[in-house]
């Protein structure tokens, strides 16, 4: 056999060059794969290296450490998440109640469709909020919610948040976040007519719950 050595990472390429060329992106992709397959806790940096076809020390040149790579994944997640929330908010038009409802729908939908990413984004200590602009990007999602709550509370954009408005904000956030967390933990599968997977949860349980989204009082 006339040795044509295979580059492990590329589909059909020449010789496995010493330099990967696209490692950073592939590490991120591998990380997303892994947390999807094995959960956030199942992630290992060495496995990501393996899937990218490099040595365990290679990632250090692109990310400070394992948390760095996970933080990058979270960053991308929060970007998509924020976009989804903004789009939902706009679907709500001028009705604050509808804005909150659409946001809640989008919040949980994102969580159930991107379970691993969502768990990572809100896991305690898994990623470093000082990584790049992760903190700001996460804050952006928060602001979308705050904006709708301000409208629902009759506040103008420049006004300070009142205590009541802040209570409304926390209540709205809590209910959708709690629902997402419980659903992802399988906590909503057991009782009564559960089962049916994420689809059933989104289609039947979620609307039943979002009916109770707190409005201004």
Partner DNA sequence: GCTACGATCTAAACAGTGTATAGATCAATA
Partner DNA sequence: TATTGATCTATACACTGTTTAGATCGTAGC
Q: What is the DSSP letter of 32?
A: H
By CB under 8 A, is residue 166 in contact with its own copies? yes
C-beta neighbour count of 139 within 10 angstroms:
14
Q: Which of 13, 17, 39, 132 binds DNA (CB under 7 A)?
A: 17
Q: Closer to DNA at the Cβ: 20 or 150?
A: 20
Q: Are the CB atoms for 54 and 20 separated by under 8 Å? A: yes
Q: Closer to its own copies at the Cβ: 48 or 108?
A: 108
**Residue 147's binding partner, choosing from DNA, its own copies, none, with beta-carbon cut-off 5 to 8 A by kind?**
none
By CB under 8 A, is residue 39 in contact with its own copies? yes
**Residue 174's binding partner, choosing from DNA, its own copies, none, with beta-carbon cut-off 5 to 8 A by kind?**
its own copies
State in angstroms the smallest separation of the CB of 126 from DNA.
12
By CB under 7 A, is residue 18 in contact with DNA? yes
Alpha-helical runs (H) found in 59-185: 66-91, 96-113, 115-122, 134-152, 163-184
Q: Closer to its own copies at the Cβ: 65 or 164?
A: 164
By CB under 7 A, is residue 1 in contact with DNA? no
Buried b (16+ CB within 10 A) or exposed e, 115-138: bbbbbbbbeeebbbeebeebeebb
C-beta neighbour count of 62 within 10 angstroms:
16
Interaction mask 94-133, its own copies, x per CB under 8 A: -------------------------x--x-xxx-------
Of residues 31-50, those binding DNA (CB under 7 A): 43-47
Report the distance separating Cα 144 and Cα 84, nearest Å: 10
Residue with tokens 């996970």: 70
Q: Which of 4, 57, 158, 208 binds DNA (CB under 7 A)?
A: 57
By CB under 8 A, is residue 142 in contact with its own copies? yes
Report the distance separating Cα 50 and Cα 48, nearest Å: 5
Side-chain half-sphere of 13: how many Cα atoms within 13 Å? 10
C-beta neighbour count of 141 within 10 angstroms:
21
Q: Are the CB atoms for 209 and 107 separated by under 8 Å? A: no
By CB under 7 A, is residue 55 in contact with DNA? yes
Binding site for its own copies (CB under 8 A): 39, 41, 119, 122, 124-126, 139, 142, 146, 160-161, 163-164, 166-168, 170-182, 184-188, 190-192, 204-205, 208-209, 211-212, 214, 217
């Amino acid at each position: 056999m006339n040795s044509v050595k295979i580059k492990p990472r590329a589909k059909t390429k020449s010789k496995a060059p010493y330099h990967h060329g696209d490692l950073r992106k592939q590490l991120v992709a591998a990380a997303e794969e892994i947390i999807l397959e094995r959960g956030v806790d199942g992630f290992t940096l060495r496995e990501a290296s393996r899937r990218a076809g490099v040595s365990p020390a290679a990632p250090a040149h692109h990310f400070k450490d394992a948390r760095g790579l996970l933080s990058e994944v979270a960053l991308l997640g929060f970007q998509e998440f924020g976009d989804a929330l903004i789009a939902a908010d706009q679907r709500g038009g001028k009705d604050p109640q509808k804005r909150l409802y659409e946001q809640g729908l989008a919040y949980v939908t994102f969580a159930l469709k991107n379970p691993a990413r969502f768990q990572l984004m809100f896991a305690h200590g898994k990623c470093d909020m000082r990584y790049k602009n992760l903190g700001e990007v996460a804050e952006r999602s928060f602001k979308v919610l705050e904006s709708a709550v301000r409208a629902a509370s009759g506040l103008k954009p420049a006004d300070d948040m009142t205590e009541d408005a802040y209570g409304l904000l926390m209540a709205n956030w809590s209910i959708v976040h709690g629902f997402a967390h419980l659903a992802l933990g399988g906590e909503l599968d057991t009782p009564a007519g559960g089962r049916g997977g994420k689809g059933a949860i989104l289609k039947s349980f979620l609307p039943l719950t979002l009916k109770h989204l707190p409005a201004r009082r």
